[in-house]
Each structure stands twice: as structure tokens, then as C-alpha cells.
């Protein structure tokens, strides 16, 4: 068993919402579920009772009650949940109406704006009226290319309050990246920013927006948030549809109304990364997202009305949608737009103290970068209210676990979480009543029948394999947009093991029920027929001080595969023979000889998606001379050129 790093004390367990939920289940059903593993087994074996308990615990408001909880089909994804029920997603996020802060929006340049819950509802009411006036109703799409600020949340709530479908991307996306997404869904309204700032640079969006507008013929209204360009005018934007500045489009006033929609009505359209083809448009349901997020926020993250939730994210990443649901628990959301390291590495740490953040989330890369920068937050910051630290985006290395407890805070629930855009939630995640072991994700999510299967489709423990979910859950997507027979959707998730969700993660379950993610299945290396997760290599290389980050691929070589490692080094460091040998020694000593790269090459940057994920497949394609599609989905597409025609890889 891995080293124990943290264990909640009995008082903390007793005060948690997770333990209160377990006790309520025991009382309601006359059971004796003694601990979390027993509660999880019950949530899988008694799915109808479990999801009804989520409805009751979080007081879901039905406009029409369901006729039944679950009508199961012969194979996933054929199940129907809460058949006959109608509800409204935004209504649940706007239940709190007092003068407590709902949104605190902080810009990189220090501008801070705040909306109370009452003010948030008034803004939503006003924007709702204007959207309705231009014809937005159930099933229509409202798309946005906006920064992570309060207007984005208001626009999402106004859209979904009408039963319309919300879809958002981030201003960092290139022109084609935006068109590839929004061009498929044909939005009726588009909301954009005139400019934004990142790392001290002001970026004018006018030309890009005009290029996008030329490819959206169905548009009925363009709304422009000036944001960092207060001088922006409607006339700057060349649209065949009417154009209006944000402040002129609506007046903040009144009470919002809520259009009831079926449980499985489309709520959000999110997008796959798009680095291997045109992005898939994944359609998520109002009821499924609501219940899954209630469970994850309220139980697994122990979030409540007294809490302040922050996640460092852009609006093009599913974590933006995930964070927004914290409003349904009555929590305050802190929204940050800009670089997490501008003007210095303490930028987000300052937010924790200044805003009293109790649940803080960021990527694994961010935590690794803090450590590389030599930050010791326990000495420089108070962090008084911080109780949960969330990490996702890529596997969190064991060394980062050590860093968190050594240099950030000793009494903290470090919750590495893993799921994805595909389900807009998690399969495996944190838990306030369980211990944290070094390098391990605490548990499977309630109601999620997660297993690890080998190639023969048999569940395994202590072995690496495919992460699967064997039983239906409400947050399974409705499907892909423009996939009427569901053929592409079924091929994406249910083809490998018919009737079982195969997520595409290379994973491992420990004997005590925790989980490890070893990377994406499609990026698994296969030298000599032995499967190696890239995260296994990254965990070792990250120990080496001279290396900032790395990417590993499998290169086809002499009828086999050889491991090639690309490293980005600290400024002034050269990849000499001694450093190469040190890298190989660390990998060999802590893994196996199969993990040791045949080639180690230096690069000055590593390509990533807008949400910060390393694009191993794109690097592999470049090395093999294959095309890389939709580079507009990358934050730094220029980095790809370093991997083309490398002479060192010809021998």
C-alpha cells in the first residue's frame, strides 16, 4: 500500500455531508452501511434508490414528477432516467436569492467585480427577456466565445433558464477552432468578447470574430462584451445579424422565469479536443448534469452554502461547467481570467487568502509548476479556510502529492479527480471521509460502476487495464450532435466492450479500492508488446530538477515500437550525455527497463490543448510524418514543428 499522507479525524468525518448522507441512507432503508465501500456497493446495486436519494437530499424541483426512476435497456446507453419528469437546470442554480456573494470575478489586471445571489438573478432575468425577444426558446443554441468572467455565467443561466442549449469556447481558440465547433451546431445567438488579456498582453478579438461571423449564416443576434476593449463599438463587427453591446442588450431587472424541460433535454454541448479530426459535439442532458454535479459537489467535495469554490479553468474546458454548478449548493464562485503565473507564481495563492477560498482546483501541471518555482505556500500564505484541493487534467504525480502536504498544507483533502468532457463529471474522485495515499485517487464515484478490465474483458485488481463503467448512470450523454442514429456515439464508447462504457483511460485499481490513471489508452506505448502508460514515465522525469516538462511517444521502428522522450529543460540547461544518463537511470530504477527511452531529445516547447493537456497523438503523428488536424485546438500549435523530420529519429 502506498504511503498514507492524510486521514480525516473522526470529527471531520462526522461533520461531512458524505457521512451524513450515509447515515440518512441507513435510517431511510433500515441498513447498516458501515463505511464508504459499503455505501458505494449499495449505490451500484440499488441504483434507483440511490439516485432517488440524491433527488431527495438536494431537493430537486420537479415541474412534472417522474413516473419512474429508471427504465433500463438491454445495453448501455439505452437506459431512461426519471421518465416523464420535467425540470429546469438554471432554477436550481438560482435558488439562493440573498445578498451573499454569488460570483466574484477577478481579472489578471486586478479588476474585481462581485454579484450577490439577488443581483445574479436580476441579471439573468433581464438577459432572459432579451434572448426571448430575439426568438430563443427550447432547443435553440446560444454559443459564446468568452473569458471566465461573470457575464459568461449570467449568459449560461439565462440560456438554460429558457430551455435553450448553451455551448462555450475560449477566446484563445483560433478562428478555425471556433468555426469547427460552432459551425456544426448553428447557434441562433453568439456572444463574444472584443478583447481579452493574458500574461500582460492585450489581445484584440475583432478580426477573429469577423472571420467567424462569415461562417455562421444562421445567426440571428451578435452580443459583444467589450471586456478589455472599452472602446469597442457595434460597428466594428461585420455581421448580417443585428449587433449589440452587452450593456445595451438588456437591463438587469425582475425575477427570472424557468421553462420546464424533460429530464433528458439537451443542456450543454461540449467538444472533444479536435486534435485528431473535427471535434465531436457531445450533448449533455439537463437532469443528468444536475444530479451528477449535486453528488460530486455536495458529497465528494463536501461543498455547501458556507463555502467558496474556485477552479482555474477557461470556458473551453469542462471544469468551467463543473464549477458553475457549485451555485446549486449556494456556494460562492471565484472566477479568474488570465495567466495563473502573472505577474508571479503566487497569483492564485493570493486569491485563496483574499477571497477565503475553501475548495481550490487547478491542473496537475499547475501544482508541478508551483513546485518547480520553489513556492512554499504554507510559509507565504495563511490558507486558513482551504479544506479541499482538487487536481485534474492529467494524472497527479506522487511527487506532487508530497509537495502539497509538505509545502502547501498538512491538513487538507487532496482530491485528484478523473472523468472528462465525455460525461462532464468524474468516474473516480475525492472523498472527505477517506484517507489520501501517495499517488492514488481516493475512490470511485457514488453510483458509478467503475472497474478496470483486461483485454479479455475481465475485471482485474492490481493490474493495468481499461477503465470501464459497467452500468448506466444519469450523466451519460444524450449523444453527438448530428449523429441521428447514434452510430458515431456508440462507436466512441461502446464498441470495445459492447454494452459497457470504455472511457479510454489506462487505469489500475488497488486492493484497498483507490485508483491510478496511467494515461490515455490511445497514447499507451507498446515496446516489445508490453503496454506502458505515459504517466508512468512522466512521474519519474518530473523528479529531475533540470526538466520542466516532457512528452513520450512510441515510434515505429524496425517492426517494433521504441520509446522516444522529448524534454523541455530549464533555461541555460543543455541535454548532454550526463543528463540523458541521469534521466534513464531514474526511469529504470523506479519502473522497468522497458520504460527507458531509446531516444531522448530536447525541445523548447511541448504542444498542449487550450485546457493544458499534452497532445501525445499529435506529437506521434508529426514524428511519423502524418497530418495533424485542427491545430486551432492547440494553445501553441507552433510547437509541433520541432517534432517534424528530426534527424536523430532516423537512426
What confidence score (pLDDT) does residue 454 get? 94
Q: What is the pLDDT of residues 522-563, one digit of tens each?
A: 888 888 777 888 988 998 998 899 999 999 999 999 888 899
What's the rounded Cα separation, in Å, for the pair 604 and 135? Answer: 50
DSSP one-letter string for 22-87:
HHHHHHHHT----SHHHHHHHHHHTHHHHHHHHHHHTT---SB--SEEEE--SSTT--EEEET-EE
Asked whether residue 51 carries a pLDDT value surpassing 90, the answer given is yes
Q: What is the pLDDT of residues 272-308, one digit of tens each?
A: 876 556 889 999 999 999 999 999 999 999 999 999 9
What's the rounded Cα separation, in Å, for the pair 600 and 650? Answer: 13
What confidence score (pLDDT) does residue 50 get? 98
Q: What is the pLDDT of residues 362-399, one digit of tens each?
A: 999 899 999 999 999 999 999 999 999 999 988 899 99
Do 88 and 77 touch, CB atoms closer than 8 A?
A: no
Higher-confidence residue: 609 or 498? 498
Do 318 and 417 touch, CB atoms closer than 8 A?
A: no
Q: Closest Cα to residue 543, out of 593, 598, 571, 582? A: 582
What confidence score (pLDDT) does residue 559 get? 83
Helix then strand then coil, in percent of the chain rounded to 5, is 35, 25, 40
DSSP tag of 550: E
Q: What is the pLDDT of residues 118-163, one digit of tens each?
A: 999 999 999 999 999 999 999 999 999 999 999 999 999 999 999 9
SS3 labels along 190-251: EEEECEEEECCEEEECHHHHHHHHCCCCCCCEEEEECCCCCCCCHHHCCCCCCEEEHHHHCC
What confidence score (pLDDT) does residue 280 get? 92
Q: What is the pLDDT of residues 312-356, one digit of tens each?
A: 999 999 999 999 999 999 999 999 999 999 999 999 999 999 999
Do 81 and 48 touch, CB atoms closer than 8 A?
A: no
Packed helices 47-57 and 286-295: angle between N→C axes, nearest 10 degrees: 80
Question: How far, rounded to the nearest angstrom, does the alpha carbon of residue 376 sit from its chain's CA centroid?
Answer: 26
Local confidence band at 610 (pLDDT 50, 70, 90 cut-offs): confident
**CATH 3.30.300.30 occupies which residues in the chain?**
524-650
- SS3 of 476, please? coil
Question: How far, rounded to the nearest angstrom, does the alpha carbon of residue 305 sit from its chain's CA centroid?
Answer: 22
Average pLDDT, rounded, for the chain? 95
Q: What is the pLDDT of residues 171-229, one digit of tens each?
A: 988 888 899 999 999 999 999 999 999 999 999 999 999 999 999 998 999 999 999 99
Mean pLDDT confidence for 58-77: 96
**CATH 3.40.50.980 occupies which residues in the chain?**
116-262
What confidence score (pLDDT) does residue 425 get? 98
DSSP tag of 3: P
The class (CATH top level) of 116-262 is alpha beta
Local confidence band at 506 (pLDDT 50, 70, 90 cut-offs): very high
Half-sphere exposure of 447 (CA within 13 A, CB side): 24
What confidence score (pLDDT) does residue 650 get? 93
CATH T-level fold of 524-650: GMP Synthetase; Chain A, domain 3 (3.30.300)
| pTM score | 0.90
Amino acid at each position: 500500500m502506498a504511503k498514507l499522507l492524510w486521514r480525516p479525524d473522526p470529527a471531520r468525518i462526522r461533520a461531512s455531508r458524505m457521512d451524513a448522507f450515509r447515515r440518512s441512507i441507513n435510517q431511510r432503508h433500515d441498513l447498516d452501511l458501515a463505511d464508504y465501500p459499503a455505501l458505494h456497493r449499495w449505490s451500484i446495486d440499488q441504483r434507483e434508490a440511490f439516485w432517488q436519494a440524491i433527488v431527495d437530499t438536494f431537493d430537486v424541483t420537479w415541474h412534472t414528477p417522474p413516473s419512474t426512476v429508471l427504465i433500463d435497456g438491454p445495453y448501455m446507453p439505452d437506459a431512461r432516467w426519471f421518465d416523464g419528469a420535467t425540470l429546469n437546470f438554471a432554477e436550481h442554480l438560482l435558488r439562493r436569492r440573498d445578498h451573499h456573494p454569488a460570483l466574484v470575478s477577478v481579472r489578471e489586471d486586478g479588476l474585481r467585480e462581485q454579484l450577490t445571489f439577488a443581483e445574479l438573478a436580476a441579471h439573468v432575468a433581464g438577459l432572459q427577456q432579451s434572448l426571448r425577444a430575439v426568438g430563443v426558446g427550447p432547443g435553440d443554441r446560444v454559443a459564446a466565445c468568452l473569458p471566465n468572467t461573470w457575464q459568461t455565467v449570467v449568459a449560461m443561466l439565462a440560456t438554460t433558464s429558457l430551455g435553450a442549449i448553451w455551448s462555450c469556447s475560449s477566446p484563445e481558440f483560433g478562428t478555425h477552432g471556433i468555426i469547427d465547433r460552432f459551425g456544426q451546431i448553428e447557434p441562433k445567438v453568439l456572444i463574444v468578447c472584443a478583447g481579452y488579456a493574458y500574461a500582460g498582453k492585450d489581445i484584440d478579438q475583432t478580426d477573429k470574430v469577423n472571420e467567424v461571423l462569415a461562417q455562421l449564416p444562421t445567426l440571428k443576434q451578435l452580443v459583444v462584451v467589450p471586456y478589455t476593449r472599452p472602446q469597442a463599438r457595434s460597428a466594428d463587427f461585420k455581421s448580417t445579424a443585428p449587433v449589440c453591446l452587452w450593456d445595451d442588450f438588456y437591463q438587469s431587472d425582475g425575477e427570472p422565469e424557468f421553462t420546464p424541460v424533460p429530464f433528458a433535454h439537451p443542456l450543454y454541448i461540449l467538444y472533444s479536443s479536435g486534435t485528431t479530426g473535427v471535434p465531436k459535439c457531445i450533448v449533455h442532458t439537463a437532469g443528468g448534469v444536475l444530479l451528477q454535479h449535486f453528488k460530486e459537489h455536495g458529497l465528494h467535495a463536501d461543498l455547501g452554502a458556507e463555502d467558496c469554490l474556485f477552479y482555474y479553468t477557461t470556458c473551453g474546458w469542462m471544469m468551467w461547467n463543473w464549477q458553475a454548478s457549485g451555485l446549486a449548493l449556494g456556494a460562492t464562485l471565484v472566477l479568474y481570467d488570465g495567466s495563473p503565473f502573472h505577474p508571479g507564481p503566487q497569483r492564485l495563492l493570493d486569491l485563496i487568502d483574499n477571497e477565503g477560498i475553501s475548495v481550490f482546483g487547478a491542473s496537475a501541471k499547475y501544482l508541478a509548476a508551483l513546485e518547480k518555482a520553489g513556492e512554499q505556500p504554507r510559509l507565504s500564505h495563511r490558507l486558513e479556510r482551504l479544506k479541499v484541493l482538487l487536481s485534474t487534467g492529467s494524472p497527479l504525480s506522487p511527487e506532487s502529492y508530497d509537495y502539497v502536504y509538505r509545502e502547501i498544507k498538512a491538513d487538507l483533502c487532496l482530491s485528484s479527480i478523473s472523468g472528462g468532457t465525455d460525461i462532464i463529471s468524474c468516474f473516480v474522485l475525492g472523498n472527505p471521509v477517506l484517507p489520501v495515499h501517495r499517488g492514488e485517487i481516493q475512490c470511485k464515484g457514488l453510483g458509478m460502476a467503475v472497474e478496470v478490465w483486461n483485454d479479455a474483458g475481465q475485471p482485474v485488481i492490481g493490474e493495468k487495464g481499461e477503465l470501464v463503467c459497467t452500468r448506466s448512470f444519469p450523466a451519460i450523454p444524450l449523444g453527438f450532435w448530428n449523429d441521428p442514429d447514434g452510430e458515431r456515439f456508440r462507436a466512441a464508447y461502446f464498441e470495445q466492450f459492447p454494452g459497457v462504457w470504455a472511457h479510454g483511460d489506462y487505469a489500475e485499481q488497488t486492493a484497498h479500492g483507490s485508483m491510478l490513471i496511467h494515461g490515455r489508452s490511445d497514447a499507451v506505448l507498446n515496446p516489445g508488446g508490453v503496454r506502458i502508460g505515459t504517466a508512468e514515465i512522466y512521474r519519474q522525469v518530473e523528479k529531475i530538477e533540470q526538466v520542466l516538462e516532457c512528452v513520450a511517444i512510441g515510434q515505429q521502428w524496425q517492426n517494433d515500437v521504441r520509446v522516444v522522450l522529448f524534454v523541455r529543460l530549464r533555461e541555460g540547461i543543455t541535454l548532454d550525455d550526463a543528463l540523458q544518463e541521469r534521466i534513464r537511470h531514474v526511469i529504470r530504477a523506479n519502473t522497468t527497463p522497458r520504460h527507458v527511452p531509446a531516444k531522448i531529445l530536447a525541445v523548447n516547447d511541448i504542444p498542449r490543448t487550450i485546457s493544458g493537456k499534452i497532445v501525445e497523438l499529435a506529437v506521434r503523428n508529426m514524428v511519423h510524418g502524418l497530418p495533424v488536424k485542427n491545430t486551432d485546438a492547440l494553445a501553441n500549435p507552433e510547437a509541433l514543428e520541432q517534432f517534424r523530420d528530426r534527424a536523430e529519429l532516423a537512426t
